[in-house]
Structure 1
């Protein structure tokens, strides 16, 4: 995926511009107590989870809750997964071996997804560095 495609993917996934967004326009928020930063953390978290194992949508939503991102609207997760699949970041297949209920779509990370994960981890590290710097300025002021 080239730089242009990455920018397009980011825009499609809610990174700005027109198109499918995050549903936060005009002061609206989905139910739940989370910030815009929480929403932006969903994408790299999904990549990390899928790097460890195949998962279906609700399995991913459960894992998000486990790391403190509970209350995220499931439609956001499924929209990201559709966009990831469109851009070749993940692939899905139907799990017909499920013992209960209808078959579930199970997602796996592709080679392109692993490269995207590496870029996401780098971005998370940069963001963490900036947050730590901001907190240091605050702590100096407080002391």
Structure 2
């Protein structure tokens, strides 16, 4: 094997490992990102997901995901009894959650690069030249 092929294999192996650590549920990195600098109640996390662009949000799924993240020690929660009304859980990110968020960042960055290449190739193949020029000038 040539030295060049070895370097490619190492890079591919690293990408495979990183991509396999990405959660199946894309909501996870967004929840962890939302908790990065502030502790939040579940309903506020649902609002954050909506602001990130999640069109439909199953609230039950959000709470199940938060419970799983807590079991995985990526977040922790405690009861907030300082406000009027019933006690509410406040969620916080753990050190392990911060580390996992960094892994998600790396993986999503790789996905973004792949998606950018896909759109570039697609545009070159299927968009008429006038549309390509229009797309190029809108970015400037």
After TM superposition, is the score higher than 0.5?
A: yes
Aligned pairs (5 A) from 1:92-107: 92-99=77-84, 101-107=85-91
Aligned position for 1:123? 107
Find the aligned partners of 2:119 and 2:73 in 1 and give their Cα distance. Answer: 37
1:76 aligns with 2:46: no
Greater Rg over alpha carbons, structure: 2
Unaligned runs of 5+ residues in structure 2 are 1-16, 130-140
Which of 104, 112, 116 aligns to 1:132? It is 116
Tell me how far 1:52 sits from its aligned partner: 1.9
CA drift at 1:61: 0.3
CA RMSD of aligned residues (A): 1.9
Scaled by the length of structure 1, what TM-score is found? Answer: 0.70
TM-score, length-normalised on structure 2?
Answer: 0.72
What are structure 1's unaligned runs of at least 5 residues?
16-39
The CA deviation at 1:41 is 2.8
Give the corresponding residue for 2:13.
none
CA distances 1:99-136 after superposition (whole Å, capped 9, x unpaired): 3x211101000010110110011111111111101100
Deviations 1:69-90 (A, max 9, x none): 1321011111111111001100
Partner residue, 1:26: none
Q: 1:120, 1:90 → 2: CA distance?
A: 15
Larger helix proportion of the pair = 2
Higher relative contact order (CA 8 A, sep 6+): 2
Displaced runs of 4 or more, over 2 A: none
